[in-house]
Structure 1
Amino acid sequence: MRSVRAKAALGATAVVAVALVLAGAAVLLVLRAYLSDQAELQAEVTAREVAAQVAREGDTASGTLTIPSTDDRPVQVVDEDGRVVAVSDELEQISGTGTTGVKPQPLPPGGDDGDGDGDQDGQDGQDEQDVDEPERGEVSGKEPRFVKGTATVDGDFAEYVFAVVEATTGAGRTVTVYAGAPLSVEKDAVGSVREAMLIGLPPVLVVVASVTWLVTRRALKPVEGIRAEMAAITASEDLSRRVPEPATGDEVARLAHTTNETLAALEASVERQRRFVADASHELRSPIASLRTQLEVGEAHPELLDVPGAVADTVRLQQLAADLLLLARLDAGEQPGRARLDLSALVREEVSQRTGDRVPAAVDVTDGVEVAGSHGQLVRVLGNLLDNAQRHALASVEVSVRREGGSAVLSVADDGTGVPDAERERIFERFVRLDDARSRDEGGAGLGLAIARDVARRHGGTLTVGRSAAGGARFVLRLPAL
């Protein structure tokens, strides 16, 4: 089952099936409890009617008890000795009431004899009686008990719930009335509802599965369009193509939009890579061609060999190769080291070693400014910024290090012509050289500032350019301080 539609349909069907089964079970339990309560209520009403009749009209003289008609509901009256003294008409068999007798037996004479002596005894012991005990000719005020059993009435066997109610006859004899209500209604109703649920469940699940399948298919149709277009883009290698974006504004539309953004970024990256390779090839061609020419001339005319020029071209080629290698590592996602570095000491050391600079750099640093990063890469950034300042400065280059809040700030400023506002972002692109820079430095490849910004970003910082106090350029490197 690898289809999303099939999985969604199966999952929805399973969830609905579980929900319906649980809901059906709850309905059956509630229905059974309700019908059981109704049966108990019917049994109680019948039992109290019979008990009231027995208490009011019991005939102790003839030794029999008279009970009213009970509409084919089984009734059994038992005295305190367990003797069956009355039953309903056509009761043939009974169980669950404590005795299975269905043949009434005459009440024995006596009891309290009805001569009044018992009344006096009863009055004397009134404080010792339970207040719920019935008096003569009354029905007990106790809550009835309920028991389940069976009975056969006029040849029909069924299960019943029996209400148990006590009463006292006029002769002072206590009897217990068992009156039953059939449980067949409860069973039939619960069975009918259960059967209807079982019959209706499969069609409902089929409908749920079908609707889920169709809805999921409709919802995933744009996804199939995205997949097909991505497959076509992969086959054609044309990154200028874009996937269709549905106008639904839902997750699929956002997926398509994100996919197009990814394709745009990939296209820009590939184009940048192509341009980088082309520019690198062009930059490498010049020193290699110059070096080859000098070597060929030297081979033919050794006295004309320009050794210093050949060495300069070799150094230029070496520096360009090193720059290209560093950019390749940065593009590959190489993360800088996290060593603890004293930026102030690093600046002092590097500036002091640049003894051959055309314009000496003035250093103004605050001690104890520390950062985390790669020593070699940060030295490379500082060197590139100083090289850039040396190419443009007229008479001064200033280097400063200070702490601003949670940042370590390194700035390199010169008094040259500065960078025009429109070019302040462009100069950080690879192989970009302004006309003035190209005329002043024949060996520059336009990679120094690009490398410096990439290294700054890899260290969690920024590199920007503005105008210095002397009117030239001021490059500011900000790094998280420790």
Structure 2
Amino acid sequence: MSRLFGSVRSRATLGATLVVAVALVAAGTAVLLSLRSNLIGEAGTQAERSARAVAAELAVRTPYDKLSGLDGDGGPVQIVDEDGRLVAASEDLRKITGTATTEVTPRPSAPARGDDDSDDSDDGDDGDDSEEGGDSDDSGGSGESLAPGEIARETTFSNGSATIDGDAEDYRFAAVEVETHDRGRLTVHAGAPLAAEHSAVDTSLTAMLIGLPLLLGVVAGVTWLVTGRALRPVEGIRREMAAITASEDLARRVPEPATHDEIARLARTTNETLAALETSVERQRRFVADASHELRSPIASLRTQLEVAAAHPELLDLDGAVEDTVRLQHLAADLLLLARLDAGERPADAPVDLAALAREEAAGRTGVTVDAEPAEVSGSRGQLGRVLANLLDNARRHARERVTVTVRREGTWAVLGVADDGDGVAEADRERIFERFVRLDAARSRDDGGAGLGLAIARDVAVRHGGTLTAGAAPAGGALFELRLPLARPD
């Protein structure tokens, strides 16, 4: 199970399905609540209309047995007086809950106000007293002050159930008060069935319970297929990378999809990385081969001299042995520095004045002049001194008479130039001379010009310090090497 859900495809499918499930459940719940609220509201409106119709008949002194709302054709109706007694109810009402009273059988009420003097026209004042007495009961019920024959504007609602003629149902009840002329304040309770609401909610719930799993299954299936199709190129990249690792053939490349999405960019970046790795490995192989070749000559020469000296001490060429040993020492130092630079060793972050460094390296060298203004950079003084020494050695080997060192500031850059008055470097060779173990002419033989690592070391050091080293033409016609480094920050 953990392996199944360890894949991106499985996690994406599970995540999408869960998100859709949560969204559907939330939306379905909102729909059901809204549907239920609307249907209950419609039932309440219907119940209120029924209650107000009965209240209107009571307001015009319609007798209880003549009320149209009590014929049993509509919903249950109860009429309760201000003392809480049931005075009238729908026909065939057997049971009711949710209203002011659970009684279903009307009880005789007190004598109607004004009935004893209804035929005596001289007792009209007594009828007025009855009406005033009715007004005095306005404090009961909802507390709304009503005149005789007036129906309250306020309606209260409640939920309950009723049994009519053996059929039990849930109802939405509306209660409306009316102030009558002869029976005091009455409250009419009328109900509207909630069967439609229950049926609609149950139907919607059933549809959701059936449709939700089906829809989630569709979402999961579609997500699984789409994710698999989208990740198919990734699997191809993975297989090819595994094959490259197994075969160690860095010339192979991963397939690039013919799209413009992230996977295509991943494939292109992977191929670029493989190309850079192939170049680096090839460069390392050439470096090892060239280094072995360069080391073989002084070691073989030194061994030969030592073997001859062992057999014939009088033939020992001590100066030649020392020269080969020094050359071997310099070559080993160059190789060690290149190895450290290739390993990504960060240079020191110390302030270095290029003008002072130029004067220091030029001291003691014949034919070298310095024209420098102060320019401070950050880096390793030893490595930057090595760059300048290599440039001066190279310039001195090719110069006829004069080598010029300049230091100036250009914006945020410090520029150190080393120019000679020799034959210069052909434009086609101005980049090749910075490759390792490259010699352009006989003047740079192993005996005179070294192993061909000086300029390669100088450029690598310049790059590690955030700068550049380029070759060009000097004003005097020779070669001009320019080292550009960022000036140190004032802080």
Q: Answer whether TM exceeds 0.5 for this pair.
A: yes
**Mapped pair 1:187 → 2:189:** no
Q: Residues of 1 paired with 2:165 and 2:400: CA distance?
A: 128
Kept after mapping to 1: 8 A contact 2:406/2:416: yes
Distance (Å, rounded) in 2 between the aligned partners of 1:322 and 1:96: 102
The correspondence for 2:23, drawn from 2, 5, 19, is 19
How far did residue 117 of structure 1 move?
5.9
Q: Paired residue for 1:201, among 188, 212, 215?
A: 212
What's the CA shift for 1:304? 2.9
Change in Cα spacing, 1:151 to 1:40, as seen in structure 2 (3 Å) is same
d(CA) in 2 for partners of 1:230, 1:249: 21
Query: What is the deviation of 1:200?
Result: 2.0
Please give the secondary structure, in 1, of the residue aligned with 2:330: helix
TM-score, structure 2 length as denominator? 0.89
Q: Do residues 383 (structure 1) and 389 (structure 2) align?
A: yes
| Distance in 2 of aligned mates of 1:112 and 1:340 | 117
The 8 Å contact of residues 381 and 451 in structure 1, kept in 2 or not, is answered as: yes
User: Structure 2 residue aligned with 1:365, among 365, 368, 372?
Assistant: 372
Cα shift at 1:65: 6.5
**CA contact under 8 A between 1:55 and 1:138: conserved in structure 2?**
yes
Q: Secondary structure at the match of 1:477?
A: strand
Out of 100, 107, 118, the position equivalent to 1:105 is 107
Cα separation, partners in 2 of 1:420 and 1:118, compared to 1, 3 Å:
farther
1:79 and 2:81 matched: yes
Aligned to 1:32: 36
Structure-2 change in CA distance of 1:116 and 1:343 (3 Å): farther
Per the TM alignment, residue 91 of structure 1 is displaced from its structure 2 partner at its CA by 1.1
SS at match of 1:171: coil
CA contact (8 A) 2:347 2:379 kept: yes
Q: After the TM superposition, which of the residue ranges 315-324 and 156-165 deviates more from structure 2?
A: 156-165
Q: For residues 220 and 438 of structure 1, what CA distance do their matches in structure 2 show?
A: 56
Report the Cα distance in structure 1 between the residues aligned to 2:95 and 2:38, rounded to whole angstroms. Answer: 28
* Residue number in structure 2 paired with 1:481: 487
The yes-or-no answer on 1:2 pairing with 2:2 is no
| 1:39 alignment partner AA | A
Report the residue type matching 1:473 in the other structure.
Answer: A
- CA apart distance, 1:437: 4.2
1:447: Cα distance to partner? 0.8
Following TM superposition, by how much is the alpha carbon of 1:324 offset from its aligned partner in structure 2, in angstroms? 0.5
Counterpart of 1:472 (choices 459, 468, 478) is 478
Deviates more, 1:308-317 or 1:433-442: 433-442
Distance 1:431 1:71 in 2: 112
Quick one: which amino acid aligns to residue 71 of structure 1?
D
Q: Which residue, out of 388, 411, 415, partners 1:409?
A: 415
SS for the counterpart of 1:337 is: coil
Shift in Å at residue 421 of structure 1? Answer: 1.4
1:420 aligns with 2:404: no
Equivalent position amino acid for 2:255 in 1: P
Q: Report deviation, 1:53.
A: 1.8
1:393 — aligned with what? Answer: 399
Q: Residues 112 and 432 (structure 1 numbering): CA distance in 2 closer, same or farther, change over 3 Å?
A: farther
Tell whether the 8 Å contact from 2:131 to 2:148 is kept in structure 1 after alignment: no
Name which of structure 1's ranges 338-347 and 250-259 shifts more when overlaid on structure 2. Answer: 338-347
TM-score between both structures, scaled by the size of structure 1: 0.91
Q: Which residue of 2 aligns with 1:136?
A: 148
Q: CA deviation at 1:280?
A: 0.9
Deviations 1:145-168 (CA, angstroms, capped at 9, x unpaired):
112222221122222221111122
Total equivalences in the alignment: 470
Partner amino acid, structure 2, of 1:51: A
Secondary structure of 2:401's counterpart equals coil
SS in 1 for 2:151: coil
In structure 2, what residue type is equivalent to 1:474?
L
Structure 1 334/317 Cα, relative in aligned 2: closer, same or farther at 3 Å?
same
Partner secondary structure for residue 362 of structure 2: helix
The SS at the match of 1:328 is helix
Matches within 5 A, 1:277-296: 277-296=288-307
Name the SS of the counterpart of 1:285 in structure 2.
helix
Partner of 2:67: 66
1:477–1:111 CA distance, 2 compared to 1 (3 A): farther
CA distance in 2, matches of 1:13, 1:464: 60
Q: What is the deviation of 1:293?
A: 2.5
Q: Which one of 319, 340, 343 corresponds to residue 308 of structure 1?
A: 319
Q: For the residues of structure 1 that align with 2:111 and 2:66, how far apart are their CA atoms?
A: 13
- Is the Cα–Cα contact under 8 Å of residues 244 and 252 in structure 2 kept in the other structure? yes
Separation of aligned partners in 2, 1:213 and 1:458: 48
* Equivalent residue, structure 2, for 1:53: 57
Question: Could you say what secondary structure the match of 1:402 adopts?
Answer: strand
One-letter code aligned to 2:195:
S
| Deviates further, 250-259 or 182-191 | 182-191
Q: Is the 8 A contact 1:391 1:441 kept in 2?
A: no
| C-alpha contact (below 8 Å) 1:57/1:66 kept by paired residues | no
Q: Give the distance between the partners of 2:309 and 2:222, measured in 1 at CA.
A: 85
* CA displacement, residues 307-364 of structure 1 (integer Å, 9 cap, x when unaligned): 2122111111111111111111111111111122233222222222xx2x3x431112
1:319 and 2:330 matched: yes
Q: Give the corresponding residue for 2:358.
A: 347
Label 1:81 to 1:197 Cα distance change in 2 as closer, same or farther (>3 A). same
Check the 8 A contact 2:87/2:108 in 1, yes or no.
yes
Whether the 8 Å CA contact 2:397–2:449 is kept in 1: the answer is: no
Which consecutive unaligned segments of at least 5 residues does structure 1 have? none
* Structure-2 separation of matches of 1:391 and 1:209: 75
Choose the corresponding residue for 1:164, options 175, 192, 211. Answer: 175
Distance 1:384 1:70, change over 3 A: farther
How far the C-alpha of 1:73 sits from its partner, in A, is: 0.7
In the aligned structure 2, how far is the partner of 1:246 from the partner of 1:118? Answer: 100
- Aligned partners of 1:295 and 1:337: how far apart in 2? 41
